[in-house]
């Protein structure tokens, strides 16, 4: 058995390490027989959006905070205090407000969260080039082979990364450490917040046997219902079924489940996992049928998408409009652009043309716009001699961006974006 202090990183035989670190006195000790031999980590920040808001407003530290919008929107993030009242991510806002009426509700600020996410990504890349992002605040890291470079075990490096994120970004994170991606992801959820959990090779199958099927990464509610209909609710039951039977019954997901329940995952960490799309959407407090009102909202969304795609140094080749009707039916309309773009004006213009075809008195409860077919930002918005006004509009938008970069997002904007 090996023990490591998460604060001062001292390592000692587990049986010789008391309840607190013998060097710094910290109670945050990790004990595991395979601690020094595991190198695949999953890092996940704790209630990320809510944590950023608490960082920026310390008066919220001991209050329940919900990040979300409107009466009919959904919860983007809930701090751990709010979670004690039953609030969860993706919960409808009206249910969240009912469960925790005293919560402080804050509208999402994606630009602020993206900036924090970039800081976190940069810290991770200081220790390994093999970082596979899953979201702004979540990533896999392959720390195998970094021991000689950093003079410490992968476990100590993972703890160092989390300490730096807390000190430099001002949010907390949890680590899962294992020998493959699936188990590292499972481990990161075992000890939140500020957790550090380990799943080793020797214990994996027995540990998994005692878990419900919901622990399987990718097993959503639909698959869980299908498994329940077949009388399967635990991983132990899946372990007793032959791989060929699982594949015959559940297809490709059957193979993934068969590998997972045996503690296997052949996937490597990919550092060049591409972003597929960037989008923004809004669920309205009341259904909207008026075209002009929808176009105002569309402009604000196009502006957010443009800011995010510029920050990512990408450009998009396809605009997609998303609408959800009052009966919850979803409509999507897409258009391939003549040239890749980063510009809010271009996104809005094509989105508005797609929207105009759907303005027929139908009331909508959600509107969104996005860019896909992403490529390098250097290819964005080439000079178009056939449209002399295009360069002037692009220059004006980038001038607005410079003012916002210096004085904040709300410092300047176009009239059509006013609420």
Task: Report the catalytic residues.
Answer: 138
User: Helix or strand or coil: residue 341?
Assistant: strand
Q: In what order do the strands lie in the sheet with 65-68?
A: 75-78, 65-68, 104-106
Answer whether 152's CB lies under 8 Å from 159's CB: no
Direct distance between the N- and C-terminal alpha carbons of the chain, in angstroms, rounded to an integer: 61
Rounded to whole angstroms, how far apart are CA atoms 46 and 120? 13
- Could you give the count of Cα atoms lying within 13 Å of 378 in the half-sphere of its Cβ? 1
Helical (H) or strand (E) element with 395: helix 389-407
Among candidate residues 127, 130, 111, the one with its CA nearest the CA of residue 162: 127
Q: Provide the H-helix boundaries in 152-201.
A: 154-168, 181-188
Task: Give the pairing type, strands 173-178 and 196-198.
Answer: parallel
Rounded to whole angstroms, how far apart are CA atoms 410 and 36? 49
**Tokens representing residue 380 in the block:** 């964005």
**Tokens representing residue 88 in the block:** 């969860």
Answer whether 259's CB lies under 8 Å from 266's CB: yes
Cis preceding-peptide flag for 296 (omega within 30 of 0): no
**Tokens representing residue 388 in the block:** 């002399």
Cα–chain center distance at 272: 17
User: Helix or strand or coil: residue 194?
Assistant: coil
Signed CA dihedral, 310, 311, 316, 322: sign only: negative
Rounded to whole angstroms, how far apart are CA atoms 68 and 90? 9
Task: Give the pairing type, strands 364-372 and 314-325.
Answer: antiparallel
Which residue's structure tokens are 């695949």?
A: 40
Answer whether 355's CB lies under 8 Å from 369's CB: no
Rounded to whole angstroms, how far apart are CA atoms 337 and 370? 12
């Amino acid at each position: 058995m090996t023990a490591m202090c998460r604060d001062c990183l001292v390592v000692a035989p587990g049986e010789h390490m008391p309840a607190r670190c013998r060097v710094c006195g910290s109670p945050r000790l990790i004990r595991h027989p395979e601690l020094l031999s595991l190198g695949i980590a999953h890092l996940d920040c704790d209630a990320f959006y809510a944590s950023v808001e608490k960082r920026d407003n310390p008066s919220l530290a001991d209050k329940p905070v919900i990040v979300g919008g409107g009466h009919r929107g959904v919860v983007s993030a809930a701090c751990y205090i709010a979670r004690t009242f039953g609030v969860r991510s993706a919960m409808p806002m009206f249910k969240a407000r009912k469960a925790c009426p005293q919560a402080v509700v804050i509208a999402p600020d994606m630009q602020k969260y993206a900036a924090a996410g970039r800081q976190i990504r940069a810290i991770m890349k200081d220790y390994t080039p093999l970082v596979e992002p899953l979201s702004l605040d979540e990533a896999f890291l392959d720390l195998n082979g970094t021991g000689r470079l950093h003079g410490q075990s992968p476990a100590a490096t993972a703890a160092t990364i989390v300490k730096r994120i807390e000190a430099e970004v001002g949010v907390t994170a949890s680590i899962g450490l294992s020998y493959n991606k699936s188990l590292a992801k499972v481990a990161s959820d075992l000890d939140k917040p500020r957790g550090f959990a380990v799943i080793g090779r020797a214990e994996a199958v027995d540990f998994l046997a005692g878990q419900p099927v919901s622990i399987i990464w990718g097993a959503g509610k639909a698959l869980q219902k299908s498994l329940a209909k077949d009388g399967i609710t635990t991983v132990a039951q899946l372990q007793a079924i032959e791989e060929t039977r699982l594949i015959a019954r559940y297809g490709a997901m059957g193979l993934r489940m068969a590998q997972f329940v045996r503690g296997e995952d052949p996937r490597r960490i990919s550092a060049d996992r591409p972003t597929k799309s960037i989008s923004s959407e809004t669920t309205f407090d009341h259904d909207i049928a008026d075209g002009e009102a929808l176009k105002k909202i569309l402009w604000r969304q196009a502006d957010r998408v443009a800011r995010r795609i510029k920050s990512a140094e990408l450009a998009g080749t396809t605009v997609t409009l998303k609408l959800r009707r009052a009966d919850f039916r979803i409509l999507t309309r897409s258009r391939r652009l003549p040239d890749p773009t980063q510009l809010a004006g271009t996104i809005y213009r094509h989105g508005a043309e797609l929207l105009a075809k759907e303005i027929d008195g139908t009331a909508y409860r959600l509107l969104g716009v996005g860019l896909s077919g992403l490529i390098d930002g250097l290819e964005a918005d080439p000079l178009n001699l056939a449209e002399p006004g295009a360069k002037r509009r692009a220059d004006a938008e980038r001038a607005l961006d410079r003012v916002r970069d210096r004085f904040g997002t709300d410092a300047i904007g176009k009239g059509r974006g006013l609420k």
